[in-house]
Amino acid sequence: MKLFAERILLSSGWHTQQTLTIENGVITAITSGCIDGAEKVAVVIPGMVNCHSHAFQRAFAGFSEQGSEGQDSFWTWRSIMYKFIDQLTVNDAEIIAQQLYIEMLKMGYTRVAEFHYLHHEINGENHVELAAMAKAIFKASQQSGIGLTLLPVLYRFSGFGPLPANDGQKRFINSVEQFNQLVSDCFTLSAHYENTNVGIAPHSLRAVDKTSLEQAVKHVRSLDDKAPVHIHIAEQQKEVDDCVAHYGQRPVEWLLNNVVLDRQWCLIHATHINEQERQGIIASQAIAGICPTTEANLGDGIFPSSEFLAENGTLAIGSDSHISVNPIEELRWLEYAQRLIKQQRAILATEKQPSVGRHLWQQAALGGAQSTNSNTGELAIGKQADLLVLNAKKVALFAHHDQHLLDSMIFASQQNMINDVMVNGHWVIKAGVHHLEQVSEQAFSTLLASLSA
């Protein structure tokens, strides 16, 4: 197919009057001017990658916002969440994920890294098909049309020690041997689903030990030497304190000293890090996966984004618990948190790229592509055609010259400016509508009415 854009943000910057030739989901040519037969659109930007998702938590959003006289925290939220998941079946997980992925597409996410740890039956027993829950996620991605990087989660312990898993974690727990079989099964499944790949997610240093971490990484890299490896790290101060008490080192410090990090690793949250840890992440070329709305919702803390980006760190964004499903809000919070701390403005810009909005969008898209080992993140020849078409009428209501357009989209507009969404060369959203959204919304709302926290 051929797509003519009046304005388009290519890897080299803004351009006008360009035609993309797309074959088998990949951009094979970019030509000046309009080619006969090309579909015409106004403004095109790259799709965004969501580097961190727990799909089932979309149905949980809103259940945990009751006050507790200043005593609520991540840890009390987690206890409520454990009770919530005791109800979810394989079919429920698919319904929730499909609804979530349609919402993601409508807001501009074209690929998602699913940090998937809901593995077993409600009673904690294995499914007859070990990867039954993972298969539900694959099916939801195919039905919605979003690109998927599935990250089965290795979860062995409830805390440093190691402490035995508690009852609320019974659906997560696997031995290393069983986990590696699950990962192999997911690779087999991925071969049958378009635009998907597989990595792993050792849950956290409190949930795995060094031996199991090493064995899991070794196994997945034997299947794909560029498989993504994601891990929750240093999200909460208690986690840091417990790690120091057990290992005598901070979480990121321990990881840097005990594991060979590379550009396929994504450190989710990394909220509580010191200068040496920050520089170590950057030197390793690992990605920092930041989820500002969830980190704010859970009271986690604020990642040192300005220092990290100034030192050429690679950053990606995720919606995590899906209290918000909106990359614009994630990027806005990323910048605003720094403004509140430093009492300055336009912090996450650079001398080379003074537009905060454009800098954040492009950096997060590229970082997200790296975090998923996907051929996405920018619009260029040889890249997958994952792109967003903006609504020209809505764009015209704000400052919209090239240098201002993404600033307006992220900081000025409270509307969804996205009109159409293409993933892997296929239109999945047209005129703001997904062809399954009504059916999906009905199934989701029916399910939600039957659930309780």
| Last residue in a domain, options 355, 372, 389 | 372
135 part of a folded domain = yes
Query: Does residue 269 carry a catalytic annotation?
Result: yes
pLDDT of residue 84: 81
* β 287-290/229-233 pair status: unpaired
Report the candidate in 331, 264, 254, 337 with the shortest Cα–Cα distance to residue 299: 337
**Cβ atoms of 195 and 278 closer than 8 Å:** no
pLDDT of residue 297: 87
Do 190 and 161 share a structural domain? yes
**How many structural domains are present in the chain?**
2
- Selected catalytic residue, list 320, 386, 407, 420: 320
The helix (run of H) or strand (run of E) holding residue 182 is: helix 176-190
Do 77 and 54 share a structural domain? yes
Could you tell me where the DSSP H helices lie in 86-161? Answer: 90-107, 132-144
CA gap 272, 266 in Å, rounded: 15
The helix (run of H) or strand (run of E) holding residue 58 is: none
Q: Which two tokens stand for residue 201?
A: 């997610």
Q: What is the pLDDT along the chain (453 residues), one digit of tens a residue?
A: 999 999 999 999 999 999 999 999 999 999 999 999 999 999 999 999 999 999 988 988 766 565 555 555 565 667 777 878 888 999 999 999 999 999 999 999 999 999 999 999 999 999 999 999 999 999 999 999 999 999 999 999 999 999 999 888 899 999 999 999 999 999 999 999 999 999 999 999 999 999 999 999 999 999 999 999 999 999 999 999 999 999 999 999 999 999 999 999 999 999 999 999 999 999 999 999 999 999 998 889 999 999 999 999 999 999 999 999 999 999 999 999 999 999 999 999 998 899 999 999 999 999 999 999 999 999 999 999 999 999 999 998 888 898 899 999 999 998 899 999 999 999 999 999 999 999 999 999 999 898 865
Do 128 and 102 share a structural domain? yes
Do 171 and 36 share a structural domain? no
CA gap 203, 232 in Å, rounded: 6
pLDDT of residue 68: 57
Instruction: Name every residue whose Cβ is closer than 8 Å to that of residue 374 and which is 6 or more positions away in sequence.
Output: 49, 111, 147, 149, 197, 384
pLDDT of residue 79: 72
pLDDT of residue 453: 53
CATH of the domain at 6: 2.30.40.10
9 part of a folded domain = yes
Burial class of residue 372 (count of CB atoms within 10 Å of its CB; 0-12, 13-18, 19+): buried
453 part of a folded domain = no
Do 201 and 328 share a structural domain? yes
The overall pTM is greater than 0.85:
yes
pLDDT of residue 81: 79
Largest Cα separation within the chain, whole Å, is 67
Do 112 and 18 share a structural domain? no
pLDDT of residue 145: 98
CA gap 408, 397 in Å, rounded: 9
314 part of a folded domain = yes
| Last residue in a domain, options 342, 372, 402 | 372
Length of the chain: 453
Report the b/e string of 269-288 with b at 16+ CB within 10 A: bbbbbeeebbbbbbebebbb
Do 53 and 35 share a structural domain? no
Report the candidate in 245, 297, 292, 237 with the shortest Cα–Cα distance to residue 269: 292
In the 3-class helix/strand/coil scheme, how is 432-449 assigned residue by residue?
Answer: CECCCHHHHHHHHHHHHH
Phi, psi of 33 (to 5 degrees): 90, 170
451 part of a folded domain = no
Do 90 and 21 share a structural domain? no
Tally the C-alpha atoms within 13 A of residue 239's C-alpha that lie toward its C-beta: 24
pLDDT of residue 61: 77
Do 283 and 348 share a structural domain? yes
Do 261 and 118 share a structural domain? yes
- Selected catalytic residue, list 54, 203, 219, 269: 269
25: domain range?
2-46+379-437
| Last residue in a domain, options 337, 372, 407 | 372
Do 399 and 310 share a structural domain? no
CA gap 320, 112 in Å, rounded: 10
Query: Does residue 192 carry a catalytic annotation?
Result: no
CATH of the domain at 238: 3.20.20.140
Q: What distances in angstroms separate CA 1 from CA 39, 42, 199, 425, one per listed residue?
A: 8, 17, 31, 8
pLDDT of residue 82: 81
Do 160 and 39 share a structural domain? no
pLDDT of residue 75: 57
CA gap 408, 356 in Å, rounded: 10
316 part of a folded domain = yes
443 part of a folded domain = no
447 part of a folded domain = no
